[in-house]
Amino acid sequence: MKRIKNVQNKFFQIEHNFITSLRVNDYDNISEIYDETMGKDFSNIIFSSHRSIIQKNFTRNQKLKCLDIACGTGSFIRRLAREFGNRVDCYGVDLSKGQIRIAKKLAEIDRVKVRFSVGNIIKTKFPSDCDVITINLDATNHLKQPEHWKILFSKVYDSLKPGGIYLFDINTPKRLFEDLVRLEVIIKKDITYVQCGIKTGFIDDFALNQHLMQIFHKNKTGIKEYFALIQQIAPSRNKLFEMLKRAGFSKVKEIRYSKKIRAKHIFMKNRLFVMCRK
């Protein structure tokens, strides 16, 4: 409890001028610590469900082409490549050069083949004829304008083969307005992760939240601090499903997780998981 109180005190001492100097949704600064802080944990929780969905929708011997959009350091797509082996051709794209640099290094360590590239997910051309496309860990929420969601969904639809599937998750408006406005603290062995909302509002009919991430990493020389200013927007469930159907998807459904699984991590709180089929 004392450690949490010390972290809280330090968090609230951050000056406003420093916060406003940060670039919104810039993950380069936290790329070297991202996997251990959040990427790996979240991928481990959702992987078995996503793997099961893939196995149910495709035959065992079918060669698959899989794309992970906004892949971060590649936790999910690297594990997919490792477990499915030669059965999959894997691709990952992310806006952050730092994240992709780390992703390539980790793929070499894991001895898996994933074609990683740096790109803006609204402007970059995706690989065509994909069987599976994923966007994990609320990356879709980072799109700055509601119109960008429509563009992304159309691009994903066009990049899938007929019968291909699209798996993604978003933070819901409830999480943006009720959870991310509070202080959230995650404490691990050598890492303490803190985030707290600093702004809420609307962009059209999308909920908006800005929150500050602060990560303390204990290493051999002391404690290193990392910061990121995150902005997310989110539509209602009905609005989201409407946009997906207008993009052309023939099937749109929610992926259900048990309370037991959702209790494994605070990031699972008020998060909506969706599966779409072309």
With bands split at pLDDT 50, 70 and 90, how would you rate the model's confidence at 3? very low
Residue 107 has pLDDT above 80, yes or no: yes
What is the per-residue burial (b if ≥16 Cβ within 10 Å, else e) of 161-189?
eeebbbbbbbbbbbbbbebbbeebbbeee
31-171+235-277: CATH, from 1.10.3720.10, 3.40.640.10, 3.40.50.150, 3.30.470.20: 3.40.50.150
- Residue owning tokens 């609204």: 122
Q: How many CB atoms lie within 10 A of CB 100?
A: 22
For 215-229, write each residue's pLDDT tens digit.
Answer: 999 999 999 999 999
Which residues does residue 200 pair with via DSSP β-bridges, in sequence order?
209
pLDDT of residue 213: 94
For 142-174, write each residue's pLDDT tens digit.
Answer: 999 999 999 999 999 999 999 999 999 999 999
Residue 11 has pLDDT above 80, yes or no: no
Q: Are 63 and 95 in contact (CB under 8 A)?
A: no
- Using DSSP, state whether 147 is helix, strand or coil: helix
CA angle 83, 89, 91 (to 5 degrees): 100
What dihedral angle (degrees, nearest 10) is formed by the CA atoms of 39, 43, 46, 47? 170
Residue 28 has pLDDT above 70, yes or no: yes
What average pLDDT does the structure give for the chain? 93
- Using DSSP, state whether 99 is helix, strand or coil: helix
2-25+174-232: CATH, from 3.10.450.50, 2.20.25.110, 3.40.50.12280, 1.10.260.40: 2.20.25.110
For 80-102, write each residue's pLDDT tens digit.
Answer: 999 999 999 999 999 999 999 99
pLDDT of residue 1: 41
Which alpha helices (H) appear in 85-230, and where do they start and end? Answer: 97-110, 146-159, 173-174
